[in-house]
Structure 1
Amino acid sequence: MIKNIFLDMRLVIGILIAHLLILFSFHDKAIFWYIFSGSLLILIVYAMFQGDVDDKASFIKYIFFGAISGLLLYVVFWLGYHTLDFLHLPFKKGLNKLYKWFAPSLFWQYLALVFVAAPGEEFFWRGFVQKRLSKHLGAIVSILAASLLYASVHIYSGSFLLVFAAFVSGFVWGCLYFWKKSMPLVIVSHIIFDIMIFIIFPLQ
């Protein structure tokens, strides 16, 4: 099974391209949103050329489950934030740096967050990577592996908080994608989560 994954060159090449693009994106904070947006557009195109993504939920279902799951995931992060704060753990400085360095601040960056970043990450990491892994691994293992790979590209941010957040959110979206077999659903969930955590109620 593991050997077959390494022989799946489309998967291996896709992951390598993702690492190179995200490494380049995090390299210069001043132009992060320019490079990150372009990188995700490239990953969307790569994923789309590898096959169709699943879309087995009706419009009402994917809007409903997407919105609810996005809000619930935000609540999980909100509770985690306040739990760490209650325990007086030294994490706020790192979180403030993340918002300062990588959170959108201009109008076009908010548009890129909603229309490029969220869809792009879901198309590539769930619609391509996780789906490809599921051909070689069981459901839970493929979800975990895809979540770890999704988290791994965030290492270049230099923030363990972001890596951990990416793993948790990636696991949730991976489970949703496996459960509902709907790419629009996980994209809506991701968008709602991003809107909550970056625009409406940032964790600061």
Structure 2
Amino acid sequence: MILSKLNSRILIGFFMAHILLYFTYSDQKVFWYMFTATMLILISYSIIKEEVDDAVPLPTYLTFGLVSGLVLFGLFWLGDFLLELLQIPVQKDISRLYKRFSPTLFWHYLSLMLIAVPGEEIFWRGFIQKRLLRNKGYWWSVIISSLMYASVSLYSGAWILVLAAFISGLFWGTLYVWKRSIPLVIVSHLVFDLFIFILFPL
């Protein structure tokens, strides 16, 4: 009975995310309006159903968050370099993604930092993965939640975004299992986005 309730809440949240993000990606003109609203809905669903883990003190999660965000960006930079070296044609897809979905207005950046990034971590790691941890074990919870996280990027129409979401999901999922701190993972995600969208776009 408890397991059934656990699974049903995960599935409801997962299908809710798919429906909302399908409409979010369907119209570029309203993407940031829809994305912001979607994250607010998913945050609300998550915090009603689950407490937010914060198992480490402020200096620790700021330090680990900063360093891990830089490490992940470094991995993406290296991956981009290797793809170019191997002449795998992905640059057009990456450029198209930046053009369609990158923040351009001031409120987009505010939404990204204050709603979108915290929302993704609260929902995908703090709700979905945390519940999977209870009956799937550490590594299965990381893999399954990362696949679920990546699956909603299918609506973008770009396989490179799906792959990027899966890799970052594995990274942040492992970080969450290790430190059990959603604020830490949020800081890591914020640092990564700061570099990949603003300071050093790929």
Q: TM-score, normalised by structure 1?
A: 0.96
1:93 is displaced (CA, Å) by 0.5
Q: Could you tell me how far apart the structure 1 residues matched to 2:51 and 2:6 are?
A: 21
- SS for the counterpart of 2:136 is coil
Q: Could you tell me how far apart the structure 2 residues matched to 1:18 and 1:178 are?
A: 22
Asked if 1:192 corresponds to 2:191, the answer is yes
1:6 is displaced (CA, Å) by 8.5
Asked if 1:58 corresponds to 2:88, the answer is no
Number of aligned residue pairs: give it.
Answer: 200
Q: Could you tell me how far apart the structure 2 residues matched to 1:195 and 1:100 are?
A: 17
1:39 is displaced (CA, Å) by 0.2
Deviations 1:127-179 (A, max 9, x none): 00000111120110011000000000000000100000000001100011110
1:5 is displaced (CA, Å) by 6.4
Match of 1:94 in 2: 93
Match of 1:103 in 2: 102
Q: What percentage of residue pairs aligned between the two structures are identical?
A: 50
Is the Cα–Cα contact under 8 Å of residues 40 and 115 in structure 2 kept in the other structure?
Answer: yes
Structure-to-structure mapping, 1:22-37, within 5 angstroms:
22-37=21-36
Distance 1:7 1:176, change over 3 A: closer
Is the Cα–Cα contact under 8 Å of residues 196 and 202 in structure 1 kept in the other structure?
Answer: yes
Deviations 1:93-134 (A, max 9, x none): 000000000000111001111111110000000000000111
Structure-to-structure mapping, 1:143-158, within 5 angstroms:
143-158=142-157
Instruction: List 4+ stretches of structure 1 deviating above 6 A.
Output: none
Opposite residue 167 of structure 2, the aligned amino acid is V
Structure 2 unaligned residues grouped into runs of 5+: none
Root mean square deviation of aligned Cα: 1.1
1:89 is displaced (CA, Å) by 1.1
Is the Cα–Cα contact under 8 Å of residues 69 and 189 in structure 1 kept in the other structure?
Answer: yes
Match of 1:115 in 2: 114
